[in-house]
Homo-oligomer: A and B are copies of this chain.
Amino acid sequence: MPWEKNFDLDDALDKAMVVFWSKGYNGTSMTDLVNAMEINKGSLYNAFGSKDQLFNRVLLRYDQQVRQKRFARLRDVGDTRKIIKMFFEDMVSEAIEDDDKKGCFLINTALNLPNQPLEIQKIVTEALIEIEEFFMEMIEKDQKEGRLDKNIDAKEKAKSILALIVGLRVLARGTYEPQSLEAIKAQAIGLLDPQC
């Protein structure tokens, strides 16, 4: 009967995630991965197949473990303004705390989308659509329950919020002045105010 692996698959994936996340696909070599994952090449290929497959799996894992869980948590908050406030505050503090300035793995990948294989394109595109739909649903719910003006175009506002999220995450990878990120946050929060 087979012998069990003596390293933890999920743990290895998490370590690989950090590398791909901060360096991108092209910027990451198999040597980088082997070092970070603390397993050797043989095991890596045996367990994950290839660099592409590993990237794919790791991106999917980020989508599920980080993004989907985060939005599930936010959904429970209810009020859209509060959600926006919490989400943007999280992003700002993440940006300030992370010395590697990794930003968001999905958005980092989104910038290179035209050069990525179709499967990757699909993961990223669907994630972005889900973010947009999430905000649209939240706004519509608030409108139905009287917390928000019904004249607001929910879809358009959701798209704008997504654009601000992307903008913040990209700018945060550069010379992040907290002050700039705060300005974007303020703009996002004010987005739902009347006549806006």
Contact = CB atoms under 8 A, between A and B. Distances in A.
Contacts of A107: 111, 170
State the oligomeric state as a number of copies: 2
Kindly name the residue among A24, A111, A160, A165 whose own CB sees the greatest number of chain B CB atoms within 10 A. A111
Given A23-B115, A101-B114, A183 B155 contact: yes
Nearest to A175: B125
Nearest to A194: B195
Given A164-B163, A164-B164, A195-B193, A174 B124 contact: yes
Interface of A: 22-24, 26-27, 100-103, 107-108, 110-115, 121, 124-125, 128, 132, 155-157, 159-160, 162-168, 170-171, 173-175, 180, 183-184, 186-187, 190-191, 193-196
